Amino acid sequence: MENSAPLAAYPIIAFVTIVDVERAKSFYRDTLGLTLLNEEPPFALVFNANGVMVRLGMAKKLPEAHGTVLGWQVSKIEVAVEKLEAAGVRFERFDGLTQDEKGIWVSPTGAKVGWFRDLDGNILSISEHPEFEIPARSISDGH
């Protein structure tokens, strides 16, 4: 019998392009708190994000990006925003979106999203999705 979902049982790997390796290493490790697993110059920095491999691909220039390249699902977005702001992260404001004082946008489905940039300008996000729960390895948001 052929498997109709050939990749469903395998972990996903996230890829983000970076230019300034030392600055990216510090941001992802020290500011966001990801665990640096390996440095593979001139190819990538490899991080663990709660069981997901994140490969920061080293490049001479960034490709043009349109939208979020990496995001985290959190259980309490307001708490996550406060912790990230305390670590020096600045949340983005976008024309055409109604965002609260913390930069959080509420989608028509009730999902809450906040966007920020890494030091190379990649758009990252955190989001809270009350309409469904995705089973995953859980870490505490502090509550």
Domain locations in the chain as residue ranges: 13-128
Q: In the beta sheet, which residues pair with residue 111?
A: none
Grade residue 5 by pLDDT with cuts at 50, 70 and 90: confident
What number of other Cβ atoms are within 10 A of residue 116's Cβ?
19
Whether the predicted pLDDT of 53 surpasses 70: yes
- As a whole number, the mean pLDDT across the chain is 90
pLDDT in tens, 70-109: 999 999 999 999 999 999 999 999 999 999 999 999 999 8
What number of other Cβ atoms are within 10 A of residue 100's Cβ?
12
Grade residue 143 by pLDDT with cuts at 50, 70 and 90: very low
Grade residue 134 by pLDDT with cuts at 50, 70 and 90: low
CA-CA-CA-CA dihedral for 87, 85, 68, 130, to nearest 10: 120
Q: Where are the alpha helices (DSSP H) in 16-121?
A: 21-26, 77-86
Give me the pLDDT at residue 9, please: 85
Specify the CATH class of 13-128 in words: alpha beta
Q: How many CA atoms lie within 13 A of 85 on its CB side?
A: 14
Whether the predicted pLDDT of 128 surpasses 50: yes
